[in-house]
Amino acid sequence: MVDADATRRPRVVFLGPPNSGKGTQAALLAETLAIPAISTGEMLRAAVAAGTELGRRVEGVMASGALVDDGLMADVVRDRLSQPDAETGYILDGYPRTVPQAETLAEILSGESLAAVLLVDAPEDVLVARALSRGRADDQEDVARERLRVYREKTAPLEAYFDDRGLLRRIDGSQPIENVAGQIRSTLGVAG
C-alpha cells in the first residue's frame, strides 16, 4: 500500500547496489507512469562526456568508484528537480546515496512524501558477474568491488533510514527483468 496523495504525483526512489538492475527498472517504471527517470550517474556521465565544469570536477572520483561529494550532488539534484518535467512526479535512480543526501531530499520535498523507496537487491556474486559482463571502463573488477564496498558503507544505511519511515519495499533483483518489473508494479499497485 502506498500513500494516495503520493501516488497522484508519484515520487519514487530506487535504491540498490551497482548492477542490481535498478537503472533498467527505473526506466521501465518511468515509461509506465509517464514521468521522468532521473539518474544522477547518467547525468554525471553526460557531464564528463560533454567536458563541462561539473564533468571535470567529478571525472576522477567516478573512475575510482567513490562518491561525488554531497554538496555538489545537492546542487545537481535541486536544479534537476526544479525542471518543469519533474512537476508531475519523478523517479530517482542513484540519489540519495548517503544519509546526508536523504536529508537534502527531505528538504527539497519540504513536507511532501515519497510514494515508496524500492530496494532492488541481489546476491553479491550476481552483482559482480553482471559488472564484469558489462565491461564498462569503470567496471573493471577492482572498481566494481570498490563500488560495492562504497554501497555497503555509505548507501546501505539508507535501507534502515527509509524502513524507519515506512517507505522501504524490497524487490528481488536476481529475477529476470520482466519479473522484477512485475514485482515493482504490484508493490506500487500500478497496472502493467
Residues that bind ligand AMP (CB under 6 A): 18, 40-41, 44, 61-62, 65, 67-68, 73, 94-95, 97, 101, 147
Known catalytic residue: 134?
Answer: yes
- Quick one: how far is CA 88 from the chain centroid? 18
Known catalytic residue: 97?
Answer: yes
Please, what is the minimum distance in Å from the beta carbon of residue 116 to ligand AMP? 18
Give 95 or 161: the residue with its C-beta nearer to ligand AMP: 95
Alpha helices in the chain (DSSP H): 4-8, 22-33, 40-50, 53-64, 70-81, 99-109, 124-134, 141-150, 157-164, 177-188
Which of 136, 149, 152, 165 is the catalytic position? Answer: 136
Give 57 or 170: the residue with its C-beta nearer to ligand AMP: 57
Cα Rg of the chain, angstroms: 16
Residue 38: its H or E element: strand 37-39
Please, what is the minimum distance in Å from the beta carbon of residue 12 to ligand AMP? 15
Q: Which residues pair with 15 in a beta bridge?
A: 119
Can you read off the three cell numbers belonging to residue 79?
536544479
Please, what is the minimum distance in Å from the beta carbon of residue 8 to ligand AMP? 26
Q: What residues contact residue 47 under an 8 Å CB cut-off, 6+ apart?
A: 54, 55, 58
Give 12 or 44: the residue with its C-beta nearer to ligand AMP: 44
Which residue has the closest beta carbon to ligand AMP?
A: 41
- Give dist(CA 124, CA 4) in Å, integer: 35
Do 95 and 68 touch, CB atoms closer than 8 A? Answer: no
Which of 134, 149, 152, 165 is the catalytic position? Answer: 134
Known catalytic residue: 136?
Answer: yes
Give 3 or 159: the residue with its C-beta nearer to ligand AMP: 159
Please, what is the minimum distance in Å from the beta carbon of residue 5 to ligand AMP? 26
Please, what is the minimum distance in Å from the beta carbon of residue 44 to ligand AMP? 5
Can you read off the three cell numbers belonging to residue 59?
571525472
- Give dist(CA 89, CA 8) in Å, integer: 8
Give 132 or 182: the residue with its C-beta nearer to ligand AMP: 132
Q: Which residues pair with 119 in a beta bridge?
A: 15, 170
Known catalytic residue: 56?
Answer: no
Which of 11, 130, 147, 169 is the catalytic position? Answer: 147
For the annotated catalytic residues, the residue numbers are 22, 97, 134, 136, 147
